[in-house]
Amino acid sequence: MIVSWRMVVGSLSWSLLASTVMADEKSSNDPYRLNLSPGVTDISGQVYDLHMLMFGICVVIAALVFGAMFIAIWRHRKSRGAQAAHFHENVKVEIAWTVIPFIILIVMAVPAARTLIAMEDTSEPDLTILITGSQWKWHYRYMDREVEYYSRLASQPEQIANKLSKGANYLLEVDRPLVLPTDKKVRFLMTSDDVIHSWWVPAFAVKKDANPGFINEAWTKINQPGIYRGQCAELCGKDHGFMPIVVIAKAPDEYERWISQQEAIAREAKAEEQRLLSMNMGMDELMKKGEAVYQSTCAACHMPTGTGLPGVFPALKGSKITTQDQAAHIDIVVHGKSGTAMQAFGKQLSLAELAAVITYERNAWGNNTGDMVQAKDVNAVINGN
């Protein structure tokens, strides 16, 4: 069962040696290794204060309780000749230690409620982003602009497999970060295409579940430009640990420039698509592009070698669909299969990418069908014929 004890022992002893060295080199640079970060929004500051307040109260209570206990342990122990007293009830004391904690709770509850109310007030936003989780990437749509894209883990599989050294932001880096303006009230609409995910950026104190079929709202107003990182915070299947979030906060004018540029790029890409319809790509080009798309988009489930995970994700190597029925193949990639993890990639990939990846699947790993799928074939399926 995937576990090899030799590997366990090997890696354990290796890392015991190595870790002493590693620990020194990076311990100093992160101030929030032990505690919550106060973050970069007013709300996250309030949350931090609440956390510290709670923590302080808890430490005091613990000190009192344990203090009393250890005094008893020390002073009233038999080996020191202590004789047991006979009291076993005292109504006054019992009322006191019911009422006092209750009052402490009220002290905690008031600021907590105040912060909570502020956090849930998503009214009057300056801009709105629709965030959609799907296995295992985030999709961002700027609701009032013509910009939308997927954001995926950028750390390489070789790094995860310990074959390449890991960079400083290992597992916390993505190909296309979300870009937001500072000093604006940004409203997030969260939803999901498949299972429940949870969008979490600690520096904003925003964590909200992305529930399929429903939209949750949250908001933030960032005070400082910078790069903020977070992770998916709800178990969402195999690669739950590999769907990070990166947000770049830019000053409003810079943001405006960036978003206009993105809109222009999006328009150009659309035009490019149209042009492609009348062209044919060659086999080499298709295979090369297809492999890249496959490895970044499909390999998470169907595995880099097309073998899938038996019982969970089907193998594409030698499967009926990938070796025989081309129309069905295009159809499942474009439309997905509802109610399974197989998503509709028609809206995620460009026509060229779809054509390439399908061609790749029909010719890689010994699926030597020789078929070439072109953008226009895919387009035909998208348009329903």
**243 interacts with ligand CUA by CB under 6 A:** yes
198 binds, among other proteins, ligand HEA, ligand HEC, none (CB under 5 to 8 A by kind): other proteins
Of 228, 236, 241, 32, the residue nearest 155 (C-alpha): 241
276 binds, among other proteins, ligand CUA, ligand HEA, none (CB under 5 to 8 A by kind): none
Q: Rounded to whole angstroms, what are the CA distances from 206 to 40, 115, 241?
A: 11, 13, 18
333 binds, among other proteins, ligand CUA, ligand HEC, none (CB under 5 to 8 A by kind): ligand HEC
Question: Using alpha carbons only, how large is the chain's radius of gyration in Å?
Answer: 28
Choose which of 131, 206, 236, 356 interacts with ligand CUA (CB under 6 A).
236
Q: Rounded to the nearest 10 degrees, how much is the dihedral formed by the CA atoms of 360, 362, 366, 368?
A: -110
**174 interacts with ligand CUA by CB under 6 A:** no
Choose which of 9, 12, 68, 104 interacts with ligand HEA (CB under 6 A).
104
* CA dist., res. 230 & res. 216, Å (int): 18
- Rounded to the nearest whole angstrom, what is the least distance from the CB of residue 311 to ligand HEA in the complex? 20
**311 interacts with other proteins by CB under 8 A:** yes
**302 interacts with ligand HEC by CB under 6 A:** yes
**69 interacts with ligand HEA by CB under 6 A:** no
Of 84, 86, 103, the residue nearest 95 (C-alpha): 103
CB 144 within 8 A of CB 128: yes
Output phi, psi for 220, to 5 deg: -150, 160
**54 interacts with ligand HEA by CB under 6 A:** no
Burial (CB count <10 Å: 0-12, 13-18, 19+), residue 232: buried
* CA dist., res. 53 & res. 108, Å (int): 8
197 binds, among ligand HEA, other proteins, ligand CUA, none (CB under 5 to 8 A by kind): ligand CUA
* CA dist., res. 10 & res. 378, Å (int): 48
Output phi, psi for 207, to 5 deg: -140, 115
Tokens encoding 167: 């960079």
240 binds, among ligand CUA, ligand HEC, ligand HEA, none (CB under 5 to 8 A by kind): ligand CUA
* CA dist., res. 109 & res. 266, Å (int): 48
Choose which of 101, 167, 304, 318 interacts with ligand HEA (CB under 6 A).
101
**191 interacts with ligand HEC by CB under 6 A:** no
Q: Report the b/e string of 346-369 with b at 16+ CB within 10 A.
A: bebbbbbbbbbbbbbbbbbbebee
> Residue 191 or 322: which CB sits closer to ligand CUA?
191
> Residue 184 or 240: which CB sits closer to ligand CUA?
240
**197 interacts with ligand CUA by CB under 6 A:** yes
* CA dist., res. 333 & res. 321, Å (int): 11
**101 interacts with other proteins by CB under 8 A:** yes
Choose which of 21, 28, 83, 385 interacts with other proteins (CB under 8 A).
83
**341 interacts with other proteins by CB under 8 A:** yes
243 binds, among ligand HEA, ligand CUA, other proteins, none (CB under 5 to 8 A by kind): ligand CUA
Task: Give the footprint of ligand HEA on this chain (CB under 6 A).
Answer: 61, 65, 101, 104-105
Chain contacts with ligand CUA (rule: CB under 6 A): 133, 136, 197, 232, 234-236, 240, 243
Binding site for ligand HEC (CB under 6 A): 135, 297-298, 300-302, 313-314, 316, 319-322, 329, 332-333, 337, 340-342, 345, 357, 361
